Structure 1
Amino acid sequence: MQQTWQTQGAQEAQQVQEAQLQTAVRPVSPHAPAPPHAPGGIRRWPKSFADRLTAPLPGLRAFARFAREGALRPRPDGLADIQRLPYDPGPLPRVDAGTVAVTWAGHASWVLRVGGLTVLTDPVWSRKILGTPARVTPVGVAWSALPRVDAVVISHNHYDHLDAPTLRRLPRDTPVFVPAGLGRWFTRRRFSRVTELDWWEGAELGGVRFDFVPAHHWSKRSLLDTCRTLWGGWLLTDARGQRVYFAGDTGYGHWFERIGARYPGIDLALLPIGAYDPRWWLSDVHCDPEEAVRAAIDLGARRMAPMHWGTFLLSAEPVLEPLTRVRTAWEKAGLDREDLWDLPVGASRVLAA
């Protein structure tokens, strides 16, 4: 149900914003004014994006070793600090079109307020996802507390980033920005405003630019669809040039320097720091905390907010270790402590203009 506004002025403001959003999803290019493709719609893509992999996927020997070692979840001593995981939900900050605000709902799910829009990243409001124990911290933002969602960005199709039960809660005319090849998943579920993008492509909605950029990761949702859809991160830039980078899920590598060079002046980088142990198994696709700090430096980002930890138990490191290690790495790098936004789940920060 649409939110009921209490004043005539608020009703008029909502009508103006809706009119702006309905104008079009305008494709743009970082380097050329001419649009690179038609807005929205489902495009033709290769049958596989395996040629985009930074490193080969694990083979049978790696799976056999993983099965022998059984290092899938933290040991009991690593689970002892679950009750100490930071959780501090609060009201969403008030914003205007010139304000950038971020709220961590948990894992890779953020409520971004950019250019007057409310944007959800990889929204997972479910208590449990396929193949993973139930979340160890509740969602930091109640679904009922969200303002109208103006857009959703999806980084890739893994279950902890693409959650069907959560997406079913959205109106089907919600604009959705997705990686190449993933559009049909949404149109089959009757989403009507789906924009598929390749790496380095962008589109514009309501004065905010959405650019899709590379990541060191992969995609798979069933037994037969490995790397059939693309994966990546998103840069959101408002009309004033304020820029937020959402990395999605990624290992460390050369893409960060290239992203930083192509999109200078990143004000805030939302970077994953968890799900990294054992390293021999996960280093190609998940940053550890030290690598995430290096990535922020490579990007030239002014600030970093850690994510992808303390919500789902996806690997073997102790539950609080990502936080302590990222703080230590930040300090060792000589970076200003105020620029590490190590938020509790549910907390918000506002980016000063």
Structure 2
Amino acid sequence: MGIGLTCVLLLGAVLVFLKTSPQFGGKISKNDVRIFEMSKNFKAGKFVNESPTKATPSLKDAYRILKLLSQKQENTVPTKEISVNKLSDESFAKREKVTRFTWTGHSSFLLQMAEKNILLDPMFSEVPAPHPWLGTKRFSSELPIEVANLPYIDAVIYSHDHYDHLDYETVQTLKNRVGKFYVPLGVGKHLRAWGVAKAAIVELDWWQEAVLGTITLVATPARHFSGRSVDDTNTTLWASWVLFTEQERIFFSGDSGYDSHFKRIGAAYGPFDLALIECGQYNDDLPDFPIHMYPEQTVQASLDVRAKYLMPIHWAAFKLNQHPWKEPILRLEKSAAKDSLRLVTPEIGAMVSMDALDSHRTHWWEVYE
């Protein structure tokens, strides 16, 4: 009886949490659905990938996945905390004409382009989960700059609504100091639920463009999935992004498995001066879930979009899969060397100028185990 009562209480607590926590974001309205139905990426009430893509496990997969997750893996987190370069509060106060950026870890960037301050997938919390108990901590205890000390942000760009990219606490801190939020279709529901004004949100389908000053922003395809709760899988779209001016072109992959969309993006908008492409949180034992890329595919994706330089992202901040934490960059280096692909690998928090990319080819991870 005691065990049964405990189970009932725990189930009740979980249900209350699912229903009341703001972390889970907003709900899709009937009007949203009417808009989504005009997209060829929305079918039978869900967004879909261009190629058939298995993203969520079935009951038949449960045993296999639980077995893999229960296997002890070595070196999945650093043995000591990763240190980051600290930016002064004035670092981005002056709007330079030359594009520069700072990687704040995982897939997050503070980008200054065409005299605009832009954040890509800003996730500044300690744990990428709806509750601290449900995830592992960031590999570094500090951020390059405190969120409260960030300059005015002209635009925030999100690739999709997963917790390691779209973060509730970060939005709460930023929302009154941001000009516009650019998101894939449906992601605006979360921002509206969190108090962001509807007029400040621009939602785009794949291949749609928006203009920010002299910068053109394009939501481009990705191969992934979405969802923040148990009942909202694929009710919002996911995307990669292209940012370009007359002088420069940058590609940001968001999260994506490998597919033919990279070649089409390269044909339509390449070549790119820099490609920021995911390289981490894959699982070699689950090749039938093509929602992330192995490092060798990251290299191929960079070649497909015709990038002059590749910077690997989506690694070195959180443990979200079972591979050794340094494995993505080691495999990437080996693969990139075969194709003479130029890599950019700055330390977290280093300010990188687009006219000095070669000076940020570092091996900062070698001092960590």
Q: TM-score, normalised by structure 1?
A: 0.80
Which residue of 174, 183, 190 corresponds with 1:178?
A: 183
Match of residue 139 from structure 1: 143
Q: How many residues align?
A: 307
Match of residue 126 from structure 1: 125
Q: In structure 2, what residue type is equivalent to 1:56?
A: K
- Displacement, 1:252? 1.1
Provide the rounded CA distance (Å) in 2 between the counterparts of 1:140 and 1:215: 28
Match of residue 206 from structure 1: 213
Provide the rounded CA distance (Å) in 2 between the counterparts of 1:279 and 1:102: 35
Matched, 1:255 2:261: yes
Residues 321, 52 of structure 1: alpha-carbon distance in 2 compared, 3 angstrom cutoff:
same
Matched, 1:45 2:36: yes
Residues 71, 241 of structure 1: alpha-carbon distance in 2 compared, 3 angstrom cutoff:
farther
Which residue of 158, 161, 166 corresponds with 1:162?
A: 166
Task: Report SS of the residue matched to 2:35.
Answer: coil
Q: Is the 8 A contact 1:99 1:115 kept in 2?
A: yes
- Displacement, 1:321? 1.2
- Displacement, 1:272? 0.9
Matched, 1:291 2:294: no
Q: In structure 1, what residue type is equivalent to 2:144?
A: G
Provide the rounded CA distance (Å) in 2 between the counterparts of 1:244 and 1:128: 28
Task: Report SS of the residue matched to 1:67.
Answer: helix
Q: Is the 8 A contact 1:156 1:230 kept in 2?
A: yes
- Displacement, 1:139? 2.5
Q: In structure 2, what residue type is equivalent to 1:345?
A: I
- Displacement, 1:56? 2.6
Q: Is the 8 A contact 2:282 2:294 kept in 1?
A: yes
Match of residue 349 from structure 1: 352
Match of residue 13 from structure 1: none
Alignment of 1:78-117 (within 5 A): 78-79=75-76, 81-83=78-80, 85=82, 87-91=84-88, 92=91, 96=95, 98-117=97-116
Provide the rounded CA distance (Å) in 2 between the counterparts of 1:155 and 1:163: 12
Q: Is the 8 A contact 2:148 2:173 kept in 1?
A: no
- Displacement, 1:201? 0.3
Matched, 1:223 2:230: yes
Cα shift readout 1:88-130 (whole Å, capped 9, x = no counterpart): 3445468645311111001111011111111111111111121
Q: Percent identity?
A: 31
Higher share in helix:
2
Provide the rounded CA distance (Å) in 1 between the counterparts of 2:288 and 2:83: 25
- Displacement, 1:213? 0.3
Which consecutive unaligned segments of at least 5 residues does structure 2 have? 1-30, 38-44, 357-369
- Displacement, 1:151? 0.5
Match of residue 246 from structure 1: 252
Task: Report SS of the residue matched to 1:169.
Answer: helix
- Displacement, 1:322? 1.2
Greater relative contact order, per chain length (Cα 8 Å cut-off, separation 6+): 1
Task: Report SS of the residue matched to 1:323.
Answer: helix
Match of residue 27 from structure 2: none
- Displacement, 1:169? 0.8
- Displacement, 1:79? 4.0
Task: Report SS of the residue matched to 1:271.
Answer: strand
Task: Report SS of the residue matched to 2:255.
Answer: coil
Provide the rounded CA distance (Å) in 1 between the counterparts of 2:51 and 2:159: 15
